[in-house]
Amino acid sequence: MSVFTPVTSEALADWLRRYAIGRLAQLQGISAGVQNSNFFVTTTLGRYVLTLFETIPRAELPFYLHLMAHLARHGLPVPAPIADRDNEYLGTLSGKPAVLVARLTGQSDMTPAPARCARVGAMLAGLHLAGLSYGRRQDNPRGAAWRSATAAQVRPFLPADEQGLLDAELAFQAAAAGEELPEGVIHADLFRDNILWDGEHIGGVIDFYFAGVDALLFDVAVTVNDWCTLPGGELDETRTRALLDAYHAERPFTAAERKAWPAMLRAAALRFWLSRAADFHLPREGELVLVKDPNEYRDILRLRARAVPPLVEAGR
Amino acid sequence: MSVFTPVTSEALADWLRRYAIGRLAQLQGISAGVQNSNFFVTTTLGRYVLTLFETIPRAELPFYLHLMAHLARHGLPVPAPIADRDNEYLGTLSGKPAVLVARLTGQSDMTPAPARCARVGAMLAGLHLAGLSYGRRQDNPRGAAWRSATAAQVRPFLPADEQGLLDAELAFQAAAAGEELPEGVIHADLFRDNILWDGEHIGGVIDFYFAGVDALLFDVAVTVNDWCTLPGGELDETRTRALLDAYHAERPFTAAERKAWPAMLRAAALRFWLSRAADFHLPREGELVLVKDPNEYRDILRLRARAVPPLVEAGR
C-alpha cells in the first residue's frame, strides 16, 4: 500500500456524497506496500480505508471485493467493502477504480509467538471454510501456470547454480502434481504484515488482491513459510506445529494433503522466489514496486527440500 | 436485552460448528433490556453477540436481519448478522430463533453534550439514506394503526384527566395527518441506550427490532424526544438545534416536514406513553418486561403541545 495517485480533499468530499457515511473529516495517505494507492478516510460517521487500484484490471476487481464482503458477512475480520447509495462497491476516483473498505484495528507482529501462529492457523481454516460457499471463481493469479511462465522469463537472468535449482524444482513440481487436493478460495499472501493484532485477537486480515481458487494446502504452505521460518530460513518446529495443529482442528487435512505437504512447501517458496526475482530483474515500466530480496525465498526453497515437520503428527 | 432462555456452553459449542468463526472460548449472559435473550460470545476467531428471540415472530425476523446487514454493508456501525456456512443468518438454539451478530465497541452516554447530539443527527440521516436502497418492506410495528388500537386498550385504565389528554391527542393527530412526508426505513427506537460511543465516534447503533417503514420524520422526533429533553420534559434548544442541523445537512428537510414537525414530536411522545402505559396496565403473561414510567412520556406529550424549536431555522 502506498500513494501513487493523489486524491484531493475536495474531490473526495464530492465523491463521498455517493455514500451514506457522512462528511469528510480527515484524509491521510498511507505509505506502505506495493500495488495500490491507499488512504485513511475519516468521516463524521466512521473510519474507512480508500483504495485506488493502480495495476489490477477493473474486470478482476469484483471477485476480490465480493470475496471480502462474503468473508466479512461470515464473521471474519476482513475489510468489508462499503456500498454506495446505489448499492455498488466499485467506483472511480482520480481516474482509477476505487473502493472504500472498513478500517480495521490492530498492528502487525513480525516476531510472532507460537500462540499467535496457532491463531493464524485457525483463522486461515476459517477463511477456507467460509470461502467454500463463495459463488465467484477466479484462478490463483500466481498459480502453477504463472510459475512456469515466470520461470521462463527470469531464468536467463539467474546465475548457473540458480538456473539448476530452478530447473530441478520445476521438474520436481511437475512430477509431484497429480493427486487431487481440496480446492477453494485462498488468500495466497497471508504474510505477517497482512494480519493486524488487536491484543491477542486478530483484528484484521488484509490485502486480498492475490486471492484466487487453488489448492487450500498451497495457502497453508505460503503461510507457514512466512510465519514459522527462522532467520536462517529453516522452519521453527514449535511455531509450525502450533499453526498446523490449529488449522487441522478446524479443517482436518486429507491423506492426499499429508502426502503433498513437503512438495507444497517448495511450491509456495518457488512462487515467492519467482515473483521477487521477476520484480528484481524485470521491473515493469511506470510501476513503483518495493523490491524484496529474492534470495530469501531462494534459500527457503533450498532448505524445504530437506526434511520438514509433517503436516499432521502421527496418531492424530 | 436480558437472559430469559438459558444456553449451555456445550450446546453453543456444538451450534458454532455451523459457522466458520472457530471454537467457543467464552459465553456470558447480558443482563439488560426487555425483549430477547442476549449473550457475549467469544470464539478463537472473534467476538460476537448471540441473540435468542423470545417474542418476535420468526417470519418477521428476516426483515430486521437483512436490514442490519444492508446498513453494515453501507458502512454504518450496526451489528451485522453473521452468516453460517450455508449462508444463513437465522438458526435455532435452545428452541428459539437465534442469530449471531458482530459485537460492537463503546458505551452509552445518558447525558450527551450537543456535539454528540449532532453526531446522532448525522448518523440518523445516514441510516435513512442508506435505508432508501433496502429492498424489503415491513410497516413500523408501532405506527399510527398500533397507536389507535393501543389507545383503545389502555384508555379504561387511565384517570379522567389522562383520558382527556389521550382523546384530544388522537383527535389532533387525526387532523394533522394528511400531507405526504418522505418515508423509508426507520430505527424507531434510537434512544441514548441504543448508541455506543467509542471516544467521540459512534461505535455502534443497536437494537433494530422496532424498525419498519414509516415517515422518516417520525424517527427524528423519537430521537429528539429522548436525546434533547431536559429532566423536566422540556426540549433543550441547544441540543435540539445541534441534532436537527446535523441531520438537515445530510438529508434536507422538505417543506411538508417543516410544517409537520410540531405534530410529529407529539406523535412520537404518544407512541412511548402508550407502549409504557400498556406494559404497565396490561402486562402480558410470561413476558419479563422492565416497566418504564409511562408518566415521563405523558408529561413530554403535554409539553410538546407548547412551542417547540422549528425543524429548520429561518434562512436555512
- Minimum CA–CA partner of B20 in chain A: A126
Question: Is the pLDDT confidence value at A3 over 90?
Answer: no
Sign of CA dihedral A37, A38, A42, A43: positive
Lowest-pLDDT choice from A65-79, B85-99, B173-187, B244-258:
B173-187
| Cα–Cα distance list, A258 to A70, A153, A173, A312, B20 (Å) | 29, 32, 16, 7, 23
Query: Which set of grid coordinates corresponds to residue A311?
Result: 503436516
Residues 6 or more apart whose Cβ sits within 8 Å of residue A185 = A67, A127, A128, A131, A132, A134, A211, A212, A213
- Judge contact between B42 and B72, C-beta under 8 A: no
CA distance A142 to A266: 14
Which residues are bridge partners to A99 per DSSP? A51
How large is the average pLDDT for residues B227-237? 97
CA distance A92 to A86: 14
Selected for mutation to probe chain A from B44, B68, B132 (highest A CB count within 10 Å) is: B44
pLDDT for position A307: 87
Both A98 and A183 in one domain: the answer is no
pLDDT for position A1: 43
pLDDT for position A34: 63
- Judge contact between B195 and B226, C-beta under 8 A: no
At B14, which amino acid appears? D
Of B45, B77, B100, the CB nearest to A76: B45
The enclosing domain of A51 has a CATH number of 3.30.200.20
Determine, yes or no, domain membership for A298: yes
Query: Which set of grid coordinates corresponds to residue A245?
Result: 495443529
Selected for mutation to probe chain A from B17, B40, B45 (highest A CB count within 10 Å) is: B45
| Statement: the pTM of the whole predicted model exceeds 0.90 | yes
pLDDT for position A229: 97
Q: What is the mean pLDDT of chain B?
A: 94
Q: Which of B102, B128, B150 is at the close of a domain?
A: B102
Residue B35: pLDDT band with limits 50, 70, 90: confident
Spatial CA neighbour of B240 closest among B308, B315, B302, B194? B308
Looking at residue B269, the DSSP 8-state letter turns out to be H
- Judge contact between B47 and B20, C-beta under 8 A: no
Residue B307: pLDDT band with limits 50, 70, 90: confident
A257: domain range?
Answer: 114-313
Determine, yes or no, domain membership for A108: no
Q: Half-sphere exposure of residue A102, counting CA atoms within 13 Å on the CB side?
A: 26
The values of phi and psi at residue B314, to 5°, are -55, 135
Cβ-Cβ contacts under 8 Å, A87 against chain B:
133
Instruction: Please name the residue that has the C-alpha cell 419498519.
Output: B212
pLDDT, tens only, A206-244: 999 999 999 999 999 999 999 999 999 999 999 999 999
Question: Is the pLDDT confidence value at B3 over 80?
Answer: no
Both B292 and B193 in one domain: the answer is yes
Determine, yes or no, domain membership for B3: no
CA distance A93 to A100: 11
Q: Where are the alpha helices (DSSP H) in chain B?
A: 9-15, 61-73, 114-131, 144-154, 160-176, 216-227, 237-250, 255-281, 294-304
pLDDT for position B276: 95
Question: Is the pLDDT confidence value at B1 over 50?
Answer: no
The enclosing domain of A267 has a CATH number of 3.90.1200.10
At B63, which amino acid appears? F
Both A76 and A146 in one domain: the answer is no
DSSP letter string, B29-74: EE---SSEEEEEEEESS-EEEEEEESSS-GGGHHHHHHHHHHHHHT
Lowest-pLDDT choice from B160-169, B172-181, B255-264:
B172-181
Determine, yes or no, domain membership for A109: no
- Judge contact between B119 and B204, C-beta under 8 A: no
pLDDT for position A5: 87
Residue B251: pLDDT band with limits 50, 70, 90: very high
pLDDT, tens only, A238-285: 999 999 999 999 999 999 999 999 999 999 999 999 999 999 998 876
Cβ-Cβ contacts under 8 Å, A76 against chain B:
20-21, 45-46
**Other CB atoms within 10 A of residue A91 CB:** 15
> What ipTM, to 2 d.p.?
0.91
H-helix or E-strand spanning residue A248 = helix A237-250
A204 CB within 8 Å of a chain B CB: no
CA distance A208 to B60: 36
pLDDT for position B208: 97
Cβ-Cβ contacts under 8 Å, A19 against chain B:
74-75
Both A89 and A203 in one domain: the answer is no
Both B187 and B263 in one domain: the answer is yes
Cβ-Cβ contacts under 8 Å, B69 against chain A:
73
Both B210 and B286 in one domain: the answer is yes
- Judge contact between A12 and A41, C-beta under 8 A: yes
